[in-house]
Amino acid sequence: MQASELADEIGGRLVGDDVTIDGATIDSRAVRSGQLFVPIVAARDGHDFVGGAISAGAAAYLTSRGAVDGVDAPAITVDDTALALADVGRAARRRLPERVVGITGSVGKTSTKDLLAGLLSTTFRTAASEKSFNNELGLPLTLFNAPDDTEAAVVEMGARGVGHIELLCSIARPTVGIITRVEGVHLELFGSIEAVARAKGELVEALPADGIAVLNADHKHVAAMASRTSAQVLTYGLTPSADVVASDIVVDDQLRASFRLHTPWGSTEVRLAARGEHQVSNALAAAAAAGGLGVPVESMAAGLLGASLSGLRMELSTTDNGVVVLNDTYNANPTSMSAALRSLAALDARRRFAVLGTMAELGHDSAAEHEAIALQADSLGVQVIAVGEPTYGPTATHVADIDAAVAALDELGSGDAVLVKGSRVAALERVAEKLG
């Protein structure tokens, strides 16, 4: 897009030469040649990094401070760079086809996004959110960075409160919406699970009448959202009456599930590269959306097998001294923690340990949820090493920090298995790295 075109579309003013802009970023350390740099004003003022972004190859920059002194590059002046970035996303969306899928839910958004991208890529040129770019900054970047020949786009949508999904839908204008699950996650922000359901359901409310709402039939709060949309509804899950279901589920010794996939468009045998039996539900959601968009069932097995998950999710490795490490440290909540513990228990091991960090933003139920996870681990024969989180209770071994957690595992050897998991703030991937 030409800088002058973009300035017109977002209500800005171009200062300097007209140049071609190819993509956008808010991180001056990740600039690619030709991109638009968008300085965000937060804890640090992104305008301080404009010079570095231009030196790294950015073709132009947005600014709410006027042209930056000493920077010889075109600028698009706006009132607020964060709000302008949303308009950049809207401008990009107008150039994309109608196959835009939005995904939200308390658990499984990113994995479902990754699986769906693998499925759609068998049939369409597909763009998808990087990592977990799921907010009002990451989503516009996904749209604007989609290649010109994109035929389908997949965007993840997170919510920090009621109204956030509605805002993201005003940018992405999805034609397909997937709701994975509604759980008691982020209750510190939402207050109740009913508020979580109201927020997540904004996605299906935003769908056009000729769109598709993909709903998890196994979860009552999600299934109930069928009444909140005028779009076609496709259901998925282990509930036999769902439109897309799995049967004959088998999990191998590497935690990869195989099953028979049943859809309105036919059936096929599927094997997932993604680890954990809980990924079956995410695969069903992806298959429902892909089938609704025209991906033939005979392509689904290859698409699901070829899909790769974003980092720090159910990564299985073996150290030089034979210890199996299950690194699932991207994030944690009671649902994902429980699933990870069951996966650990399914591994062939003589001893099992779980290095667990805090599960953040659980609200008033936080202490009870942490202790429940520790009790589940105990019932599965898993020894919990709790890092800086006392509410895991008396069945856990408590340590103050990451170094202490690694020291507590000093005598591990062949035949032992360790799960490492916590919310992002815990940064427990460093434990997995130190274990080697």
* Binding-site residues from annotation for ATP: 105-111
Distances (CA, A) of 235 to 219, 230, 287: 11, 15, 11
Degrees to nearest 5, angle at CA 194 with 193 and 199: 95
Binding-site entries: 105-111
- Token pair, residue 102, equals 């939005």
C-alpha to C-alpha distance for 352 and 341, rounded to whole angstroms? 10
Q: Which residues pair with 324 in a beta bridge?
A: 318, 417
DSSP sequence for 221-265: HHHGGGGG-SSEEEEEESSTTSSEEEEEEEE-TTSEEEEEEEETT
The SS3 of residue 292 is: helix
> CB neighbours of 326 closer than 8 A, spacing ≥ 6?
255, 314, 315, 316, 340, 343, 344, 347, 417, 418, 419, 420
Residue 385: name the closest of 424, 415, 419, 356 by CA.
Answer: 356
Amino acid at the residue 220: K
